[in-house]
Chains A and B, each alone.
Chain A
């Protein structure tokens, strides 16, 4: 870092390191084997982090010239899980790609590609778009269609929300037109409502969100019979809420939480990936969970500071997009766990177990540091 980005923001990397360390610690506590793999992924992620920094040390703005390549790349990555033979459906959502023993979520990387593309594209077209002529609405509709496609294709409301949210945020930053945001939000809601009618998986998620508990047995799709919803579809959410609640103010203490039942079975499925937050909330309590979220808040604050300090449009858009994407992803997964929004399975940046997530977030960090370095160097 000293060598490649000497003038970059000094707080971001330590915060990312802290989050990753908290993640590995909790993953180790939940399953030592996974912690080793996660450690390995962090090493790989750091290598890619350094590679990104070294490769783009002179001027990352060359990326702007390849923006369409990134745009196409993002779409290809998103469609990858739909390719027969390598795509896999996990938990009703088609987000994974299998190549041999190697498994990853291309969506994580696609997110960064999309942000690079949008930063380049919007920088170029912002004046035009700001005038808000009817013919400029075209690209908006294309991207909206893309998001809906992602939603239908992956069955995953969370990813669609994330991509579309990033898009609207960047569009707003570029054009200062709240109308775009409003129109976009309306379109998204309409589209999502349409998908809700068609796709059972999405409908289930909404039902679970609104009514996780039932007093009387209801139809349970998993068994085909009747069961209380908390024993069927919303099992995971409800058990995760119990986990958070059990943490209370001070938490049970690291290693003192309860994650397996008396028979030795895991109580919360996917506790070390999507639900790592509920594990942390139980063991660290409100103090620890709020502390963790404050670290995310600081990270986001520094990220936006970089965007403000940046001197050119592409850099500003890139930094703002990366930061908002990071914040929105945190909100979507934690918000799902604490029942603010419907639960969707995406990872908690830096903390969750999962190779693609760790790699993508360290690359995102590299991007922010590059922008920051440039801005600060120019100021000197």
Chain B
């Protein structure tokens, strides 16, 4: 019988070996995939055994996200607490037990949980695991200036809109505010969504969870003229002195497009003979309508793309919390094969048509003009610190390429200065500091209800801050509603002196 017994023994050995192989499969090959599954209850708990890194404002002291230890049968779990409440909700996001994460808490999860970092940091995380100690994540120092951010939140209180400010030379995001907002500490509550629904604000479509700065798409109105005028000058087809005749309207498709369509002008003004420079200063639609017709929609869109339109602006926040700017049709980015035939060039030139822009994209355009034509790459995470507070990564300033020639940027700057000193944006003047800006007042389709914009940078000769303010459902103009907010924030920043 020994032959049979030996064979049976082999069968038994093969069976147990199969178990070892199968276990290896689950613990080595399949482990990563399983860990990412939504219903993985073990990961849902285990992730909280990690003491997440903190999130600081730009001063490296103001804590935006901290931990609250809680004991359970198995472990000490670390849940999130946001000491500053709604200060920078949309950037920081939340990390909770019951919901997915949002904001940097989601996109920078690998750093915050210590799963990423330099080799040394990853190594010490593994050592902590082996020693059975609590794994500590890496902390983030943001570029967000807590004081300016608070100022922007106060200015936006009760309104719907957004303020984004960046350093034009580096792309550091100083302010990223979106209103209405919410306190991220309520995200932990099971009835979070009902609580959010109860938030009140100044517009029909509240959506407090939406980061309007990066995900809000607004009709740019006259702020888009910065792109159009850049195209006009950079192609060499126009100079600031190019002459126009303004009868109060421009003729497109054999129909007049009246200046009165632009509420930045009080009534259907007629400027008669004027230069491109003056047309920009006073935001004369007929001038830009004619520029658009001459350049063609394709050229204007091409320049828009150079400024970053039609691609999702780079930032550390999650990809689905950022939108590309451009022409939209049926809620989708509209990419016509033949723009000159499919797009109304006149209306595109003064920022109507189907053009939709995020405040972040708008400030990138302004910052590019301030930066001599180079589009700065925006970033919001300045440094990553290991658990001992040592810097393990510093974000280096970078650019996204050149949008226009330096000479073009300088000419546009002069026009933007004129718009503030004696044009539509006089409300943004700061005593002793030269401000360059552009207003925008976009029609919403409802009479006397507009989306108002102001985008500017200062000081004009050595720019330190570029800012875009957008407000929804306003009865006034960009120059009267948005410009004062931009001025207030620029003034507060510049009055501190250079760091």
**Residues of A participating in the B interface, judged by any CB pair closer than 8 Å:** 169, 172-174, 176, 213, 228, 230-231, 238-239, 241-250, 252-253, 256-262, 264, 267, 281-282, 285-286, 289-290, 293-294, 296-297, 300-301, 304, 307-308, 313, 316-317, 320, 323-324, 327-328, 330-331, 334-335, 338-340
Within 8 A of A (CB), among B67-96: 70, 72-75, 77
Chain A residues whose CB sits within 8 angstroms of the CB of B39 once the complex forms:
228, 230-231, 238
Interface segment, B40-48, B141-149, B214-222? Answer: B40-48
Taking a contact as CB atoms under 8 Å apart, the answer to whether B44 and A286 are in contact is no
Chain A residues whose CB sits within 8 angstroms of the CB of B1 once the complex forms:
173-174, 176, 313, 316-317, 320
Taking a contact as CB atoms under 8 Å apart, the answer to whether B74 and A260 are in contact is yes
Taking a contact as CB atoms under 8 Å apart, the answer to whether A262 and B15 are in contact is no
Q: How far is A267 from B44 in the complex, measured between Cα atoms in Å?
A: 11
Most chain A beta-carbon contacts within 10 A, residue among B18, B42, B129: B42
Within 8 A of A (CB), among B92-140: 97, 129-130, 132
Q: How far is A92 from B313 in the complex, measured between Cα atoms in Å?
A: 56
Nearest-neighbor residue (CB-CB) of A296 within chain B = B16
Which 5 pairs across A and B sit closest by C-beta, in order of nearness?
A: A304-B9, A338-B22, A327-B12, A245-B34, A245-B31
Chain B residues whose CB sits within 8 angstroms of the CB of A241 once the complex forms:
26, 30, 34
Q: Which of the residues A260, A261, A297 comes within 8 Å of B13, measured between beta carbons?
A: A297
Most chain A beta-carbon contacts within 10 A, residue among B13, B25, B31, B70: B31
B397 at interface, CB cutoff 8 A: no
Chain B residues whose CB sits within 8 angstroms of the CB of A256 once the complex forms:
75, 132
B 41-60 binary contact with A (CB < 8 Å = 1; else 0): 11111101100000000000
Known contacts A231-B39, A258-B42, A262-B77, A324 near B34 by CB under 8 Å: no
Given contacts A249-B28, A293-B16, A297-B17, 8 further A-B contacts (CB under 8 A): A246-B35, A281-B26, A289-B20, A290-B24, A300-B9, A320-B5, A331-B18, A338-B19
Taking a contact as CB atoms under 8 Å apart, the answer to whether A242 and B12 are in contact is no
Known contacts A262-B77, A262-B97, A304 near B23 by CB under 8 Å: no
B320 at interface, CB cutoff 8 A: no
B8 at interface, CB cutoff 8 A: yes
Report the minimal beta-carbon distance from A36 to chain B, rounded to whole angstroms.
18
Task: Pull 16 A–B residue pairs with CB atoms less than 8 Å apart, ordered by A.
Answer: A174-B1, A242-B43, A245-B26, A245-B31, A248-B28, A262-B72, A281-B23, A297-B16, A297-B17, A300-B9, A300-B12, A323-B12, A334-B23, A335-B18, A335-B22, A340-B19
Chain B residues whose CB sits within 8 angstroms of the CB of A245 once the complex forms:
26-27, 30-31, 34-35
Known contacts A246-B42, A258-B46, A176 near B3 by CB under 8 Å: yes
B495 at interface, CB cutoff 8 A: no
Q: Which of the residues A176, A323, A328 comes within 8 Å of B15, measured between beta carbons?
A: A328
Nearest-neighbor residue (CB-CB) of B44 within chain A = A261
Nearest-neighbor residue (CB-CB) of A286 within chain B = B27
Chain A residues whose CB sits within 8 angstroms of the CB of B73 once the complex forms:
260, 264
B4 at interface, CB cutoff 8 A: yes
Q: How far is A244 from B24 in the complex, measured between Cα atoms in Å?
A: 10
Report the minimal beta-carbon distance from A82 to chain B, rounded to whole angstroms.
30
Chain B residues whose CB sits within 8 angstroms of the CB of A335 once the complex forms:
15, 18-19, 22
Report the minimal beta-carbon distance from A232 to chain B, rounded to whole angstroms.
11
B447 at interface, CB cutoff 8 A: no
Taking a contact as CB atoms under 8 Å apart, the answer to whether B2 and A308 are in contact is yes
Taking a contact as CB atoms under 8 Å apart, the answer to whether A330 and B16 are in contact is yes
Taking a contact as CB atoms under 8 Å apart, the answer to whether A300 and B27 are in contact is no
Taking a contact as CB atoms under 8 Å apart, the answer to whether B20 and A244 are in contact is no
Chain B residues whose CB sits within 8 angstroms of the CB of A244 once the complex forms:
23, 26-27
Chain B residues whose CB sits within 8 angstroms of the CB of A330 once the complex forms:
16, 19
| Interface SS of A by simple majority | helix
Report the minimal beta-carbon distance from A230 to chain B, rounded to whole angstroms.
5
Q: Which of the residues A238, A262, A281, A304 comes within 8 Å of B27, measured between beta carbons?
A: A281
Known contacts A172-B4, A327-B12, A243 near B42 by CB under 8 Å: yes
Report the minimal beta-carbon distance from A295 to chain B, rounded to whole angstroms.
10
Report the minimal beta-carbon distance from B198 to chain A, rounded to whole angstroms.
26
Chain A residues whose CB sits within 8 angstroms of the CB of B48 once the complex forms:
262
Q: How far is A277 from B72 in the complex, measured between Cα atoms in Å?
A: 23
Q: How far is A122 from B130 in the complex, measured between Cα atoms in Å?
A: 54
Q: How far is A289 from B16 in the complex, measured between Cα atoms in Å?
A: 12
Report the minimal beta-carbon distance from B73 to chain A, rounded to whole angstroms.
5
Taking a contact as CB atoms under 8 Å apart, the answer to whether B40 and A242 are in contact is yes
Known contacts A241-B26, A253-B132, A301 near B9 by CB under 8 Å: yes
B388 at interface, CB cutoff 8 A: no
B6 at interface, CB cutoff 8 A: yes
Q: How far is A183 from B30 in the complex, measured between Cα atoms in Å?
A: 37
Q: Which of the residues B3, B34, B45 comes within 8 Å of A262, measured between beta carbons?
A: B45
Nearest-neighbor residue (CB-CB) of B17 within chain A = A297
Chain B residues whose CB sits within 8 angstroms of the CB of A243 once the complex forms:
42
Taking a contact as CB atoms under 8 Å apart, the answer to whether B23 and A293 are in contact is yes
Report the minimal beta-carbon distance from A62 to chain B, rounded to whole angstroms.
21
Taking a contact as CB atoms under 8 Å apart, the answer to whether B23 and A267 are in contact is no
Chain A residues whose CB sits within 8 angstroms of the CB of B3 once the complex forms:
176
Known contacts A293-B16, A328-B15, A340 near B9 by CB under 8 Å: no
Taking a contact as CB atoms under 8 Å apart, the answer to whether B20 and A293 are in contact is yes
B331 at interface, CB cutoff 8 A: no
Nearest-neighbor residue (CB-CB) of B3 within chain A = A176
Taking a contact as CB atoms under 8 Å apart, the answer to whether A242 and B8 are in contact is no
Known contacts A230-B39, A259-B74, A293-B19, A316 near B24 by CB under 8 Å: no
Known contacts A300-B16, A339-B22, A258 near B75 by CB under 8 Å: yes
Chain A residues whose CB sits within 8 angstroms of the CB of B11 once the complex forms:
169
B37 at interface, CB cutoff 8 A: yes
Q: How far is A241 from B18 in the complex, measured between Cα atoms in Å?
A: 16
Chain B residues whose CB sits within 8 angstroms of the CB of A296 once the complex forms:
16
Q: How far is A151 from B9 in the complex, measured between Cα atoms in Å?
A: 26
Taking a contact as CB atoms under 8 Å apart, the answer to whether B46 and A169 are in contact is no
Chain A residues whose CB sits within 8 angstroms of the CB of B12 once the complex forms:
300, 304, 323-324, 327-328
Chain B residues whose CB sits within 8 angstroms of the CB of A176 once the complex forms:
1, 3-4
Taking a contact as CB atoms under 8 Å apart, the answer to whether A172 and B6 are in contact is no
Q: How far is A290 from B44 in the complex, measured between Cα atoms in Å?
A: 26
Taking a contact as CB atoms under 8 Å apart, the answer to whether B5 and A331 are in contact is no
Report the minimal beta-carbon distance from A226 to chain B, rounded to whole angstroms.
15
Taking a contact as CB atoms under 8 Å apart, the answer to whether B19 and A249 are in contact is no
Q: Which of the residues B5, B15, B17, B31 comes within 8 Å of A316, measured between beta carbons?
A: B5
Q: How far is A150 from B244 in the complex, measured between Cα atoms in Å?
A: 98
Nearest-neighbor residue (CB-CB) of B39 within chain A = A230
Q: How far is A228 from B469 in the complex, measured between Cα atoms in Å?
A: 45
Q: How far is A197 from B345 in the complex, measured between Cα atoms in Å?
A: 70
Report the minimal beta-carbon distance from B43 to chain A, rounded to whole angstroms.
7
Report the minimal beta-carbon distance from B2 to chain A, rounded to whole angstroms.
5
Taking a contact as CB atoms under 8 Å apart, the answer to whether A340 and B8 are in contact is no
Nearest-neighbor residue (CB-CB) of A309 within chain B = B2
Nearest-neighbor residue (CB-CB) of A334 within chain B = B19
Report the minimal beta-carbon distance from B94 to chain A, rounded to whole angstroms.
16
Nearest-neighbor residue (CB-CB) of A319 within chain B = B5
Taking a contact as CB atoms under 8 Å apart, the answer to whether B45 and A258 are in contact is yes
Taking a contact as CB atoms under 8 Å apart, the answer to whether A248 and B22 are in contact is no
Taking a contact as CB atoms under 8 Å apart, the answer to whether A169 and B27 are in contact is no
Taking a contact as CB atoms under 8 Å apart, the answer to whether B45 and A260 are in contact is yes
Q: How far is A173 from B2 in the complex, measured between Cα atoms in Å?
A: 8
Q: How far is A308 from B8 in the complex, measured between Cα atoms in Å?
A: 11
Taking a contact as CB atoms under 8 Å apart, the answer to whether A260 and B72 are in contact is yes
Q: Which of the residues A246, A248, A297, A331 comes within 8 Å of B43, measured between beta carbons?
A: A246
Report the minimal beta-carbon distance from A224 to chain B, rounded to whole angstroms.
20
Q: How far is A246 from B49 in the complex, measured between Cα atoms in Å?
A: 13
Q: Which of the residues A173, A267, A290, A327 comes within 8 Å of B20, measured between beta carbons?
A: A290
Known contacts A242-B40, A297-B13, A258 near B24 by CB under 8 Å: no
Taking a contact as CB atoms under 8 Å apart, the answer to whether A257 and B74 are in contact is yes
